Structure 1
């Protein structure tokens, strides 16, 4: 049997059509919605409605809400997701959604989380972190850390946890792994990232858009949304530059991005930085695809294929971590 090639050599006709329609509909809409508190509320409704139509969760999935909100400070909120026929309990995926730290939620991303659970067989905990503009840096990062520590307290070993995330959620996932490594704590088994943000100044993405127009949103408007979260923070600060110096023990990482999106530049830079630091990273630029195309399951045929590929990576890395753990036990016996 011929082995599946990831990513495919060329994009489907439906992907090209979807990008064209998006360029004529969503991108002009992002121009007229102001990057203000009121505008964010409108954007949240638009995105939630759109994803419910073009990227709904799988029918038959089981969703269990979790709310351990604190009166102040970091909180654990989100939902357990099990896709149909997902029966494994030996590991867990922590999923961190994206959308500029301002717009989406665990609920909007069920199109990804239910399919990732189904394809991997694993339960997914989709984290709901506090959103800008009401909550600014590092509120989202603190909530993701709280979710990870809660999973540990619930009995999940770091070697049995994979962190996945898209866009801003990808940046939060990398930030968490670096925090753990810098503190001498055990990081998760692996990371699977979809169109991750790497450069919070957005200069990389802006440079890429000057070469090719992004179908979804302009670099300038996306930067304005990021400003709602980072505000006056120094984006050259070590935590925001995501330095991998001394982080050779960074978990194996899969990075997927679309060839038509400006943030493919971030994906490439992240992969290059990880490899330069001695880490292992698999980079996939899927031809013709838009930002977080994995969420567009009803529109883009490559979406479920990409999620299947990510699930394959997750299971492979968990199995490798399990073998390493068994070997270490034998050595210590």
Structure 2
């Protein structure tokens, strides 16, 4: 791990503090035009500074489970990831791991993003791991409030494990920001079989943003104020007490999590959430590696054209995913 961020990434954070942070402060998420503008800004940033999409194959999904639940999203296969028939289904071929995949839950406050905004990141993840990535297009606030996104996250998981035929321990769940909250909530449910591993980018844990506010007193986030982020998340939580156990997650007192990698930027306010999550996973008996990349912004991994640290961070994620799947494969053979 570097001791300090690169000059380019520090410069980018400074510019963000002078521009994006100020813009986010004046765009009211509770107003339709403010939310629309926020969505367009995030989309433009992800497109402009994300990795290349060259050679990426995208397959849209819109199906219903036998019980009527709807699953919407897309399979993303990065350049060099070919398809092969496995168990009667078309699968991307990750070398010797044709029976494995990544389940990706995108972030941005339960209200802003989509598989489209995250396609460059999921394609890069697919290319680095050689695995197909299924990115869920869960319902967004304010039209769809809690627990819509959490219900959709469970539906996507059930679809992968049933209709798609993936064994739970041949799946790695990944997610960023609010997607991290959805992933942890999913795995805390007692009737959900755990995946091989969990890889999270700047996960959101505390929906009150209390941890973020404390961090903000020490160092301001270059992208957004804690108060503004809380307003955005409030669109999803409106009408529900934040003490609800599916919103305030009891990780320390809950189930043992699968092997977990958490990455966060040292310059963002949600680094406090990442530290708390890692500590709580360990308290519950799980194995969690926390990587705090100095001076980096929120979900910097999605912005390799902006920050050089994105590439080595993603290589760490790819290595973790490979090790998680190999570990499960070895344990299954040994057993």
Q: TM-score range by the shorter chain?
A: over 0.9
Q: Residue 50 of structure 2 is aligned with which of 51, 55, 75?
A: 55
Q: Which secondary structure does the structure 1 equivalent of 2:331 belong to?
A: helix
The aligned residue for residue 11 of structure 1 is 5
Structure 2: stretches of 5+ with no match in the other structure: 82-92
Deviation at 1:9, TM superposition (A): 2.3
The aligned residue for residue 125 of structure 1 is 134
The aligned residue for residue 87 of structure 2 is none
The aligned residue for residue 114 of structure 2 is 105
Deviation at 1:247, TM superposition (A): 4.1
CA RMSD of aligned residues (A): 1.6
Q: Residue 44 of structure 1 is aligned with which of 39, 47, 69?
A: 39
The aligned residue for residue 173 of structure 1 is 183
Matches within 5 A, 1:267-282: 267-282=274-289
Q: State how far apart, in whole Å, the 1-side matches of 2:205 and 2:307 are.
A: 25
When residues 271 and 73 of structure 1 are mapped into structure 2, their CA distance, relative to the original with a 3 A threshold, is farther
Matches within 5 A, 1:273-292: 273-292=280-299
Matches within 5 A, 1:13-92: 13-36=7-30, 37-68=32-63, 74-86=69-81, 87-88=93-94, 89-92=98-101
Q: Residue 205 of structure 1 is aligned with which of 201, 205, 212?
A: 212
When residues 169 and 259 of structure 1 are mapped into structure 2, their CA distance, relative to the original with a 3 A threshold, is same
8 Å Cα contact 2:196-2:258 kept in structure 1: yes
The aligned residue for residue 3 of structure 1 is none
When residues 313 and 40 of structure 1 are mapped into structure 2, their CA distance, relative to the original with a 3 A threshold, is same
Structure 1: stretches of 5+ with no match in the other structure: 1-6, 329-333
8 Å Cα contact 2:56-2:77 kept in structure 1: yes
- Pick which of 48-57 and 119-128 moved more: 48-57
Q: Residue 201 of structure 2 is aligned with which of 179, 194, 200?
A: 194
8 Å Cα contact 1:112-1:307 kept in structure 2: no
8 Å Cα contact 2:252-2:280 kept in structure 1: no
- Pick which of 243-252 and 104-113 moved more: 243-252
8 Å Cα contact 1:115-1:304 kept in structure 2: no
Q: Which secondary structure does the structure 2 equivalent of 1:165 belong to?
A: strand
Q: State how far apart, in whole Å, the 2-side matches of 1:73 and 1:18 are.
A: 46
8 Å Cα contact 1:258-1:287 kept in structure 2: yes
Matched, 1:222 2:217: no
Matches within 5 A, 1:295-310: 295-310=302-317
When residues 149 and 57 of structure 1 are mapped into structure 2, their CA distance, relative to the original with a 3 A threshold, is farther
Matches within 5 A, 1:236-247: 236-244=243-251, 247=254
Deviation at 1:232, TM superposition (A): 2.6
Higher helix proportion: 1
The aligned residue for residue 323 of structure 1 is 330
Q: State how far apart, in whole Å, the 2-side matches of 1:69 and 1:25 are.
A: 42
Give the total of aligned pairs.
318
The aligned residue for residue 269 of structure 2 is 262
Q: Output the TM-score relative to the length of structure 1.
A: 0.92
